[in-house]
Amino acid sequence: MPTIKDVAREAGVSIATVSYVLNNKEAFVSAETRRQVLETIERIGYTPNVTARNLKASQTRLIGYAWHEVPHNQVNSVLDRFTYYLAQAAEAAGYHVLTFTHAQHDPLPAYQELINTQRVDAFVLSGTNADDPRIRFLMDENFPFVCFGRSNPEWNFYWVDTDGEQGVYEAVNYLIGLGHRQIAVAAWPEQSITGNFRLAGYFRALREAGIDISPDYVVRGEHSEQAGREALASWCRLPRREQPTAVVAMSDLVAIGVMNEAETRGLVVGESLSVIGFDDAPMSQYLRPALTTIQQPIVEIGQALIEMLQAVLKKEQPEIPNLLIPTRFIRRASCGFIVR
């Protein structure tokens, strides 16, 4: 296998010159010399030892990402897709994603070990919440990281997020435009900062339309199909004329639970009950009826996070330290004009 010495000999230059070319130190070599070295590398089939170069530069070119935990018999298609597109964006920038797991109740030891063993250059976090211990820990350690999601507003860190509030606001206004006034929401638990942003869009749309907000129409539950079923069941216990004609769910999975329960109770989704989800999970378009939903810009989020992280690793201020990316409203057959 050819070595760097072979490249230097064949190109008629010093080993140092070959090293300058390999490490993109253009100020130390002329354009002609650089061209000559690169042609020699290709001709003799030299492959640089990337591991050794990374060690010399005190870089691993690895980004740590904790694999999200999904309860048994549930899915999280958003974070599944996010992990893929994050890895794709990282590889385009010359990095790889190192996935790992940690104890759900105590994530910090896994992060501490990866820092202590110098196995990663930085982290990407997702599934963030208020008082997130991972964010506080990495801030205190002064270790590079960026987040898909927000946390405490007084904490100064870099994040990219979906504008969920605006997305739900547009969805509720769409339902109002169809004539609905009794609009319920299948919300997430109060500790979910993402869920609370989305819920704020629901409240804002109703207030601006002059529609009273009924506490009975706000039901909180986990990210599960069962939570959607239980939410609709609770609304069906209200007097007939007080039952909602439309539902906005915090995720497509919860919306599927609402639709399944509706079928059990003889309600026709898209006619007697309108349903909107959030995420535009791949299966949502294949439901019957196809689910109207709010699409998250997962590809753009992954790219933006890697661009932000590149600036952080260069010890530069990202051009936009906190970035909200708009959602896209996807109209399908699960919504219709109000029918009484």
Q: pLDDT digit string (tens) for 44-66?
A: 988 776 545 554 555 789 999 99
DSSP string, 10-59: HHTS-HHHHHHHHTT-GGGS-HHHHHHHHHHHHHHT----HHHHHHHTT-
List, for residues 294-329, the tens digit of each pLDDT value.
999 999 999 999 999 999 999 999 999 999 999 999
Instruction: Give pLDDT, residue 77.
Output: 78
Average of per-residue pLDDT across 162-172 = 98
Instruction: Give pLDDT, residue 338.
Output: 84
Mean pLDDT value across the chain: 92
pTM score: 0.81
Percent of the chain with pLDDT over 70: 92
Q: Is the pLDDT of residue 69 over 90?
A: no
Q: Is the pLDDT of residue 17 over 50?
A: yes
Domains of the chain, CATH where assigned? 4-48 (1.10.260.40), 62-162+297-326 (3.40.50.2300), 164-296 (3.40.50.2300)
> Which of the two residues, 69 and 78, has the higher pLDDT score?
78
List, for residues 100-153, the tens digit of each pLDDT value.
999 888 999 999 999 998 999 999 999 999 999 999 999 999 999 999 999 999
Instruction: Give pLDDT, residue 45.
Output: 87
Helices (H), the chain: 4-11, 15-22, 31-44, 50-56, 77-92, 108-116, 133-141, 164-177, 193-208, 225-236, 252-264, 298-313
Instruction: Give pLDDT, residue 26.
Output: 66
